[in-house]
A and B are shown apart, each in its own frame.
Chain A
C-alpha cells in the first residue's frame, strides 16, 4: 500500500449535503495537504495542515489530522455541483522536499 490512501474511492451526494473524505498514511510527516483535480486539469492545492495542528478551516473546507492514527479527513460542507472533482491527500515526509499522493476520492455532487 502506498503512503496517503484515500477512503472512499468514490462518493456521490446531493447538493447541499456534506462530503467527508479520509486519508491514511504510514510514515512521520511534516504536514499533510489536500489537492483537488477537476476532470482534464492539473491538481490545485486546497489546504495544508501541519503535524502539530489538529484542525484547520478554510471557507467550506475543514481538515482534521490525527497523527497518532496517521489519518486525516477533509470535510466539504454545503456541497455544490461545482465541487465535483477528485480529491487527493499528499504527505510531506520528514525530508520535506517531495510529496507522496494518495489514489484520490472521486466526489460527485448531484444538482
Chain B
C-alpha cells in the first residue's frame, strides 16, 4: 500500500488566495483526520470524517476553513481566503475501525502564506 498521500507537498501563496489541500487515505480505512502543526500550537485536530461524513469539526479555526470528503478515497481541506497566520504544516491521517485507534499519517503539506 502506498500509504496516505497528500498533495501538494509544498504550497506558497499570497494572502487572500484560495488554497486547496488534498488527501488520499489508505484504501479500506474509514476514518480520515486533518491536523495542523505549528511551533506555537503543536499538533491540532481540525476535523475528522467517518465513512465520508464529518463527525467533529470543532477544531476548524474559522469559516475560512472548509473540508469535504466526496468519496472514500479523497478529501480536501480548503482555506479561502488564506492569511499569513494559516502558515503551518497540514497533515492528513487515516485509520480503520478495527485498528485499535492507530493512525497513519501522510507526509504533510507545508503551507506558507505571504
Show the binding face of A for B, using Cβ within 8 Å: 2, 30-31, 33, 41-45, 48, 50, 88, 90, 92, 96-104
A88 touches B106 (CB 8 A): no
A48 in contact with B102 given A41-B107, A42-B108 (CB within 8 Å): yes
Chain B nearest CB, measured from A68 CB (Å)? 22
Q: Give 19 new A-B contacts, CB below 8 A, not counting A31-B101, A99-B101.
A: A2-B42, A30-B101, A33-B102, A41-B108, A42-B93, A42-B105, A42-B106, A43-B91, A43-B93, A43-B103, A43-B105, A45-B103, A48-B101, A50-B100, A92-B101, A97-B31, A99-B103, A100-B45, A104-B42
A–B pairs, 6, beta carbons within 8 Å: A41-B107, A42-B4, A48-B100, A50-B100, A99-B45, A99-B101
State the CA gap A41–B4 with chains docked (Å).
12
Chain B residues whose CB sits within 8 angstroms of the CB of A98 once the complex forms: 33, 45, 48, 56
Flag whether B114 is at the interface (Cβ < 8 A). Answer: no
How many chain B residues sit at the interface, stated as a range, is 20 to 34
Pick from B31, B48, B55, B105: contact of A44, CB below 8 A: B105
Question: Interface residues of A: mostly helix, strand, loop or mixed?
Answer: strand
Complex Cα spacing A92 to B100, Å: 9
B32: min CB distance to chain A, Å: 11
Q: Does B104 contact A (CB under 8 A)?
A: yes
Contacts of A103 in B (CB 8 A): 42
Q: What CA separation (Å) do A104 and B105 show in the bound complex?
A: 16
By a CB distance below 8 angstroms, the chain A residues around B103 are: 43, 45, 90, 99
Q: How far is the CA of A61 from the CA of B34 in the complex (A)?
A: 28
A50 to B108, CA, bound (A): 28
